[in-house]
Amino acid sequence: MGQTTHRSAAIRDGLGVGLAVGLSGLAFGAAAITAGLGVAQACVLSLLAFTGASQFALAGAVGAGGDLVAAAAGALLLGGRNTLYGLRLADLLRVRGPRRLLAAQGVIDETTAVTLAQPSPEAARTAFVTTFTSLYVTWNLTTLAGALGTSFLGDPGMLGLDAVGPATFLAILWPRLAGSAQLRWLAVAGAAVALCATPFFPPGVPVLLSAVVVLAVLVR
């Protein structure tokens, strides 16, 4: 199979994943508004943070009345895994100069998975750019659409939209847990830490504590 065929397959994979996952931005936009954030705040989070699990975690903690600092710290720790992805992708992508800042923004679960699945370095770089671009654009547009739509509803909780954030958060995490018993045990341990800490700490702090435990184990 030639390089052209590899690149065509990489583009197809990247567009498929980017568009499909990007639609989850609708759920984040709705969850952010339900949590009490504004449309502009939801959009800025998607533009700058651009990591679904962290964004949903922050919105959930804020919606529960948690301290913004604790909620942000928990979201940053959940996003810390992207640093490990970056270390793995650095030699493969070979990005130099100021472009490294842009590439770092795109290092998330989906771009890493599609990039590493390619059979050649050239196809891998094509897959990364395609997945990042399509997912970033789709995620931000659907965040705006979800936030605007939910903001016109008056009380989103009346329609049960307060459950959208946790449900989508679980949907994002589940595929990563289904294929690894080790990750499932790690998730159970993190959940146990959060549940045990909930009666004793304000909202946002239990998530922060569980994220510290999980990240420490992953780094080790």
By mean pLDDT, which of 25-34, 85-94, 104-113, 192-201 is the weakest? 192-201
Model confidence over 174-185: pLDDT tens digits?
Answer: 665 666 677 677
Structurally, the chain folds into a number of domains equal to 1
pTM score of the predicted model: 0.75
Give CB contacts under 8 A, 24+ apart, made by 117-122: 117/13, 118/6, 118/9, 118/10, 118/13, 119/1, 119/6, 120/3, 120/6, 121/92, 121/94, 122/3, 122/6, 122/7
Average pLDDT, the chain: 80
Q: Which residue range(s) make up the domain with 27?
A: 3-219
